[in-house]
Amino acid sequence: MSNKSEKSLNDAIHHLSRLMTQALGDAISAHGVTPGQLPVLMCLWEQDGLTQRELYERVHIEQATMSNTLSRMERDGLVKRKPDPDDRRAARVTLTVKAQKLEPVLADAIKTVQKTALGEIKKKDKKALLAALGEMIDNLTPPNAKDPGAKNHTA
């Protein structure tokens, strides 16, 4: 740790999160994307046409935050919202061609930031770190918020 205030697990994770977000922001800003938009893009790259509700449940943010994020993404030409043909109250969020073309570029940026962050950590230690973080996430996720179809964090 770089200073005394980072002796707790909470402080270390918070500091790491800020540093990762900054590094990621630096790596993707030239493409007109912010770190807060990445989880939405990643969900839609995996399954395009999700509803706003499905997105905020998968990304684990508040509905209002998702609404604001989608409005900015729509303004920036990354997504479109279309009425759901089966539910007039809902809208389906779809990627634009611009956002689809960004997938490989942003995936490379993410990999580069992760590679830098992990540095010379041995492969077995990386696996152990991801497994431990996944367990911590599972331990802190309320039972009613757990997604049975969610990917295992240790992969």
pLDDT at 88: 84
CA distance 137 to 31: 30
Q: What is the pLDDT, as a whole number, of residue 147?
A: 57
| pLDDT tens digit sequence for 98-131 | 999 999 999 999 999 999 999 999 999 999 999 9
The radius of gyration computed from the CA coordinates of the chain, to the nearest angstrom, equals 17
Starting from the edge strand earliest in sequence, which strands make up the sheet with 87-95, in order?
50-51, 87-95, 79-84
Residue segments in the chain with a per-residue pLDDT below the cut of 50: 1, 148-149, 151-155
What's the confidence (pLDDT) of residue 154? 39
Give all domains of the chain, ordered by start, each with its CATH number.
4-119 (1.10.10.10)
User: What distance in Å separates the CA atoms of residue 111 and residue 117, rounded to the nearest whole number?
Assistant: 10
Q: How many CA atoms lie within 13 A of 110 on its CB side?
A: 14
In 3-state terms, what secondary structure has residue 47? Answer: coil
- Cα(75)–Cα(56) distance, integer angstroms: 19
Task: Name the nearest CA neighbour of 154 among 139, 132, 136.
Answer: 132
pTM of the full structure: 0.81
In terms of Cβ atoms closer than 10 Å to its own Cβ (0-12, 13-18, 19+), residue 110 is middle
Instruction: Please report, for residues 7, 116, 131, 139, the alpha-carbon distance to residue 47 in angstroms, rounded to integers and kept in the order given.
Output: 40, 29, 25, 27
pLDDT of the residue at 4: 57
